[in-house]
Amino acid sequence: MYKPGDRVYVGVGEACGMNFTDGVWAVEYERGPLPLSLPFGLADELMSCLDFATAGLTVGVYMSLLAHHWRLPLPNGQPSHCPGRKIASSVLGLLGPAMTHIFKPRPASSNIPRR
């Protein structure tokens, strides 16, 4: 049973499906480097769905995750001495949350009187 916002990691050779309501299913599959799927997802959001807010959120969250990853130590445990990596993580660390804030949906206001 998944709750709103849950993320599901699907390992190598595994699959996962979700039943949103009776008769409606969504399955996503990715193989290979994740950045290669970003243009495909954005093209669908921008050109067929015209969902600019979701595209902005997608890019904002992706930039934040990249910034976080590039701040981590290298696989051998040593800190990175690459200035480009440090600059990119700093810039993306500022831009990602800013874009997420800009494109975050506003809470729905309730004008329905309470009984």
CB neighbour burial string for 74-90, b if at least 16 within 10 angstroms, e if fewer = eeeeeeeeeeeeeeebe
Bridging pattern class, strands 24-26 and 18-21: antiparallel
Q: What's the CA gap between 7 and 35, in Å, rounded?
A: 18
Phi/psi region, residue 50 (left: phi>0; alpha: psi -120 to 50; beta: rest), is: left
Tell me: pLDDT of 29 over 90.
no
Predicted confidence at residue 40, as pLDDT, reads 80
Provide the 3-class DSSP secondary structure of residue 19: strand
* Over residues 32-36, mean pLDDT: 75
What share of the chain in percent tops pLDDT 70?
Answer: 74
56-104: pLDDT as tens digits? 998 999 999 889 988 999 888 888 888 998 999 999 999 999 999 998 8
* CA neighbor of 12 nearest in space, from 40, 32, 28: 32
Q: Count CB atoms within 10 A of the CB of residue 99.
A: 19
